């Protein structure tokens, strides 16, 4: 019988079926500072970690991304200590905040070749969907599930329904995977993918680099689906070959991985198609990632909406964001920019931002935080850091940083930030912060002009 990519991986990981649930074997378990609650559950039960060799820990959520040489605030230091103590007690390998390979968990997994096609990957973080870009089943879990995985290396899951999102055609110059992902979220809604695993397909997805695919799969959770994936192909294998933790017998692994893509006649519970020719640079205007519009659009008017719940959300979102119905997005002034996060902090993200910023000055302050210390090193070898600092922007260290504002890097109350991150929720970047999500090129363009703007004219002759 014809099978999808998802079904092939799921089936090979099923240990037992019970009613509508399966007990799945978990190949990789990523941990970070937030995992302390799960370790607390292990302590309470006096339990041990079943397979410490399959867990990988890294400090990212709370690590300082500025002034790392200074002693961090007591709360931050405490989170670093908790992670170090818990991983040491259970013999789990940790990249602490001073490690040369430290970075955001969803950046370092693929970067080190820990993330591979055909694996099941979990982490106590909703953006674990990122890892699906290599053709793995990756999804975020809560603390109790993290504890269950630590104790058994397995997890009970209901098999989700399957949705195929086909993106046809070719992306126009200046349009990024981020725009593609925001277009999908706007189309489906922030809960449109719930209960589903998404497989991205179509020419435009095939043409994406691995980094573009990572951005696309990363944002899958923002349409409500826990898991997003792209079938492995030569792009995947080329990306993985010679990575630190790639399998020793790489070619034989590739032979297995070539059997993974969905069979031609495999069926999906839901199928949607987007034409990439219709995708323009997109920014969010509200407090949900579904509140996304092309940069040349004007803001929606709640008075013209028939659905009361929708009108109420729009009214509240416009009010929180300090915007008016009918206002043009292009004229909205920003106070700062942030380039970073597990969504958009990889070397290609930094290169495109640098292409916009080269020889120009930023009108507003901003922070650029690379996704990992190896990416930071590479960017510096390429001279990107000098482009950023010459433009007047701050060049930071690797971590979740201003995306989730847990390390003290916050957007101030009422401030408006053009951000390459994944959530524009109220208060996400700090209490009262106003977030507009966009691609790295678009955030760089906002830095140069001081307002939301179409990056394409600024990229002319520079691509």
Partner 1 sequence: MEKFTRLTAIACPLPLSGIDTDQLIPARFINRQRSEGFAAYLLHDLRKEPGFPLNDPLRAGARIIVARRNFGGGSSREAAVYALQDYGIACVIAPSFGDIFASNAVGNGLLPAVASEDDVEAMLDTLSAGTTHLTVDLTECRINAGNRAWSFSIDPVWREKLLNGWDDLDFTRSLQPAIDAFLVNDRTQRPWAYSM
Binders of partner 1 among 254-283, rule CB under 8 A? Answer: 256
Check residue 18 and report its DSSP letter: E
Establish if 167 lies at the interface with partner 1 (CB under 8 A).
no
b/e map 37-55, b = 16+ CB within 10 Å: ebbebbeeeeeebebbebb
Nearer CB in complex with partner 1: 281/374 = 374
Task: Check binding of 425 to partner 1 (CB under 8 A).
Answer: yes
- Choice from 32, 423, 436, 456 touching partner 1 (CB under 8 A): 423
Q: Give the residue with the Cβ less far from partner 1, 31 or 448.
A: 31
Shortest Å, Cβ 121 to partner 1: 11
**Window 280 to 309, contacts with partner 1 (CB under 8 A):** 287-288, 308-309
Across 280-317, b (16+ Cβ under 10 Å) vs e yields bbbbbbbbbbbbbbbbeeebbebeeeeeeeebebbeeb
29 makes contact with partner 1 (CB under 8 A): no
Q: What is the nearest approach in angstroms of partner 1 to the Cβ of residue 427?
A: 5
Q: Which is nearer to partner 1, 220 or 453 (CB)?
A: 220
Residues 359-378 that bind partner 1 (CB under 8 A): none
* Binding range to partner 1, per CB under 8 A, among 37-45, 167-175, 325-333, 344-352: 37-45
Question: Residue with structure tokens 């098999």?
Answer: 159
Cα–Cα distance for residue pair 124/142, rounded to 1 Å: 5
Selected binder of partner 1 within 245, 315, 378, 386 (CB under 8 A): 245
| Identified binder of partner 1 from the candidate list 252, 273, 361, 389, rule CB under 8 A | 252
Q: Does 436 bind partner 1 (CB under 8 A)?
A: no
Taking CA atoms, 183 is separated from 79, 167, 206, 409, in Å, by 36, 10, 17, 29
325 interacts with partner 1 by CB under 8 A: no
Task: Say if CB 363 and CB 371 are below 8 A apart.
Answer: no
d(CA 300, CA 293) in angstroms, rounded, equals 10
Q: Which of 299, 404, 443, 444 binds partner 1 (CB under 8 A)?
A: 404
Which of 52, 169, 202, 247 forms a contact with partner 1 (CB under 8 A)? Answer: 247
Least separation in angstroms between CB 209 and partner 1: 24
Count of residues engaged in binding partner 1, rule: CB under 8 A: 77
Q: How many helices (H) and strands (E) does the chain have?
A: 16, 19
Sign of the four-CA dihedral 446, 448, 451, 454? negative
Which of 217, 221, 220 is closest to 230 using CA atoms?
217
* 52 binds partner 1, rule: CB under 8 A: no
- Cβ-contact 390, 94 below 8 angstroms: no
Nearer to partner 1, 40 or 392 (CB): 40
Which range binds partner 1 by CB under 8 A, 187-195, 231-239, 296-304, 451-459? 187-195
Distance of CA 22 to the CA centre of its chain: 27
Among 64, 224, 302, 340, binds partner 1 (CB under 8 A): 224
Please, which of residues 56-75 interact with partner 1 by CB under 8 A?
62, 75
Residues in the chain: 463
Cα–Cα distances in Å, from 332 out to 179, 365, 418, 432, 450? 19, 16, 10, 17, 9
At residue 176's C-alpha, the angle toward residues 175 and 182, to 5°, is: 100
- Could you say whether residue 90 binds partner 1 (CB under 8 A)? no
Residue with tokens 């695919």: 213
> Which residue among 249, 264, 381, 457 contacts partner 1 (CB under 8 A)?
249
Q: What are the residues facing 201 on neighbouring strands?
A: 166
Pairing state between β 366-368 and 336-339:
parallel
Return the number of other C-beta atoms located less than 10 Å from residue 343's C-beta. Answer: 31
Question: Which positions from 109 through 148 interact with partner 1, judged by CB under 8 A?
Answer: 113-114, 116, 118-119, 124-126, 140-145, 147-148
Closer CB to partner 1, 55 or 215, in the complex: 55
Q: Which stretch binds partner 1 (CB under 8 A): 185-193, 322-330, 350-358, 451-459?
A: 185-193
- Per CB under 8 A, does 242 bind partner 1? no
Q: With respect to partner 1, which residue has the nearer C-beta, 136 or 379?
A: 136
- Beta-strand ranges (E) seen in 141-259 are 154-158, 161-168, 196-201, 227-230
> Under the criterion CB under 8 A, does residue 84 sit at the interface with partner 1?
no
Answer for which of 1, 19, 70, 306 binds partner 1 (CB under 8 A) is 19
Nearer to partner 1 among residue 148 and residue 346 (C-beta): 148
Interface pick for partner 1 out of 79, 162, 175, 384 (rule CB under 8 A): 79
Q: Segment contacting partner 1 (CB under 8 A): 188-196, 262-270, 365-373, 445-453?
A: 188-196
Q: Which residues of 117-126 are buried (b: 16+ CB within 10 A; e: fewer)?
A: bbbbbbbbbb
- Work out how close the CB of 451 gets to partner 1 at its nearest, in angstroms, rounded to a whole number: 26
């Amino acid at each position: 019988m014809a099978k999808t990519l998802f079904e092939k991986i799921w089936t090979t990981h099923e240990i037992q079926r019970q009613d509508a649930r399966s007990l799945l074997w978990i190949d990789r378990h990523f941990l970070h500072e937030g995992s302390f609650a799960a370790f607390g559950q292990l302590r309470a039960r006096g339990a041990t970690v079943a397979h410490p060799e399959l867990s990988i820990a890294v400090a990212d959520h709370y690590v300082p991304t500025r002034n790392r040489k200074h002693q961090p605030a007591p709360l931050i230091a405490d989170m670093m200590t908790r992670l170090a103590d818990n991983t040491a007690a259970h013999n789990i390998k940790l990249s602490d905040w001073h490690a040369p390979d430290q970075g955001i968990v969803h950046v370092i997994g693929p970067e080190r070749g820990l993330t591979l096609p055909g694996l099941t990957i979990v982490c106590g973080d909703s953006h674990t969907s990122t890892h699906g870009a290599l053709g793995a089943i990756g999804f975020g879990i809560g603390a109790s599930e993290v504890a269950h995985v630590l104790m058994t290396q397995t997890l009970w899951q209901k098999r989700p329904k399957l949705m195929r999102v086909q993106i046809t055609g070719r992306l126009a110059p200046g349009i990024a995977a981020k725009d593609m992902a925001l277009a999908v979220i706007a189309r489906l809604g922030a809960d449109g993918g719930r209960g589903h695993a998404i497989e991205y397909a179509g020419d435009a997805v095939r043409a994406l680099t691995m980094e573009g695919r990572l951005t696309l799969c990363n944002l899958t959770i923002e349409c409500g689906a826990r898991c997003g994936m792209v079938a492995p192909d030569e792009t995947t294998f080329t990306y993985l070959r010679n990575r630190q933790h790639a399998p020793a017998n790489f070619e034989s692994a590739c032979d297995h991985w070539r059997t993974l893509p969905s069979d031609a006649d495999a069926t999906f519970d839901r199928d949607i198609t987007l034409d990439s020719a219709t995708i323009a640079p997109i920014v969010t205007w509200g407090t949900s990632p579904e509140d996304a519009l092309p940069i040349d659009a004007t803001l929606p008017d709640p008075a013209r909406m028939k659905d009361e719940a929708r009108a109420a959300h729009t009214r509240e979102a416009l009010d929180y964001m300090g915007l008016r119905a009918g206002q043009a997005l292009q004229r909205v002034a920003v106070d700062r920019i942030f380039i970073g996060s597990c969504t958009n902090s990889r070397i290609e993200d930094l290169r495109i931002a640098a292409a916009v910023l080269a020889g120009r000055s930023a009108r507003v302050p901003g922070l650029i935080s690379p996704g990992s210390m190896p990416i930071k090193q590479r960017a510096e070898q390429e001279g990107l850091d000098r482009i950023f600092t010459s433009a007047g922007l701050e060049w930071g260290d690797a971590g979740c940083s201003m995306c989730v504002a847990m390390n003290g890097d916050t957007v101030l109350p009422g401030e408006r930030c053009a951000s390459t991150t994944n959530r524009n929720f109220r208060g996400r970047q700090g209490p009262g912060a106003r977030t507009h999500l966009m691609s790295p090129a678009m955030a760089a363009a906002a830095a140069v002009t001081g307002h939301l703007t179409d990056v394409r004219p600024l990229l002319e002759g520079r691509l």
